[in-house]
Amino acid sequence: MAVTFFVPDSPFGDFADWKLNTGGNPNTTEQRAQALGPDGDEIAWKGYGKKTALTATYVATKAVGDLVIPKAGQVVGGCHIDSVQVAYNQTGYPIMTLSGHRHDHGNPHTTCRTYTGSVTLPAAAIGIPAAFGDVFKLQPSAEVGMRGATYTLSVIHVDEMDGVGGQLAGENRDGTEELAIELTADAAPTDYAVSAAWHLGTLAKALGNTVATTSSLNLTHHIAHD
């Protein structure tokens, strides 16, 4: 086969606010059943439950307004979106990473329960927004800097096998949103505001003899299906 260049593929479709960078990076696995003889050695085997994991990354194409992302649990051409992640950084454009799967043995996915993110994701030509709706907001008086921000929307996906180890059906439950924030400085609680509807699960600081002190917090929110 000839060497190819610059041919990413999006198994999850196209998105108005984003341009494909990498994907779909298929990784196919198959489980293996075996039969053993009386001496404990294998005498027969058969594969089952073939499944392909998929990932793709996209760069934001908007500089103003809010970014629109797909729903977790959405199915496109048999490919199920397991999670959606949007990462901001200090020197680049926002990057969206989609992770999902498809079943290559049994029934492919057609529709599943979907989960819509509730967080406002601001567009940014470069850098990290100081506010994400009412979920997190850096106070104007804060003497700290935004160092990183990552939003993740995911579902718990449950698959059921048919009588011969293939896919019978699948469904989603318990959608979860996470917002991870990193700040440059020994941030105090008065430097930022967080929504009371979100759980502040982690609050940490990192200190060293050759670097600036940083603070990080992780917020979690569970949502119902659409």
Residues 73-121 have pLDDT tens digits of 999 999 999 999 999 999 999 999 999 999 999 999 999 999 999 999 9
pLDDT in tens, 4-39: 999 999 999 999 999 999 999 999 999 999 999 999
Q: Is the residue at 216 inside a domain?
A: yes
Q: Is the residue at 62 inside a domain?
A: yes
- The pTM assigned to this predicted structure is 0.94
pLDDT for residue 125? 84
pLDDT for residue 1? 73
Q: Is the residue at 9 inside a domain?
A: no
pLDDT in tens, 117-167: 999 999 998 899 999 999 999 999 899 999 999 999 999 999 999 999 999
Q: Is the residue at 57 inside a domain?
A: yes
Q: Is the residue at 8 inside a domain?
A: no
Question: Kind of pairing, strands 95-103 and 167-184?
Answer: unpaired
Q: Is the residue at 12 inside a domain?
A: no
pLDDT for residue 161? 95
Domain that holds residue 138: 18-34+43-223
Q: Is the residue at 6 inside a domain?
A: no
DSSP states of the chain: -----S----TT---TTEEEEEEEEEEEEEEEEEEE-TTS-EEEEEEEEEEEEEEEEEEE--SSSB---PPBT-EETTEEEEEEEEEE-TTS--EEEEEEEEESSBPPP-----B---S--B--SSS--SEETTTEEE-TT---EEEEEEEEEEEEEEEEE-TTSSEEEEEEEEEEEEEEEEEES---GGGEEE-TTSEEEEEEEE--SSS--EEEEEEEEEE---
Identity of residue 78: G
In sequence order, what are the residues at sequence separation of 6 or more whose Cβ sits closer than 8 angstroms to the Cβ of residue 94?
A: 59, 60, 67, 86, 87, 88, 121, 123, 124
Q: How many domains does one find in the chain?
A: 1
Residue 224 has pLDDT above 80, yes or no: yes
Q: Is the residue at 93 inside a domain?
A: yes
pLDDT for residue 116? 98
Residue 168 has pLDDT above 90, yes or no: yes
